Amino acid sequence: MFKGWEMDFSKEFFPYTSSQYRKFSNQILKDAFKLPVTIINDI
């Protein structure tokens, strides 16, 4: 499922700060598990 994903967690390339972990995890749920935003918002 995550094969082929490449993540650069450096400050230069990672679009989220530590305070935006929820936003990052929502993006993973949406992209990896194809969950609709309505379900993600209820989690």
The pLDDT value recorded for residue 18 is: 86
One-character DSSP codes across 11-33: TTT----GGGHHHHHHHHHHHHH
Q: Is the pLDDT of residue 1 over 80?
A: no
* pLDDT band of 3, cuts 50, 70, 90: confident
The length of the chain is 43
Question: Tokens representing 39?
Answer: 């379900």
- pLDDT tens for 10-40 read 989 998 988 999 999 999 999 999 999 999 9
Rounded distance, CA 24 to CA 1, Å? 17
Contact 35, 1 (CB under 8 A): no
The pLDDT value recorded for residue 33 is: 92
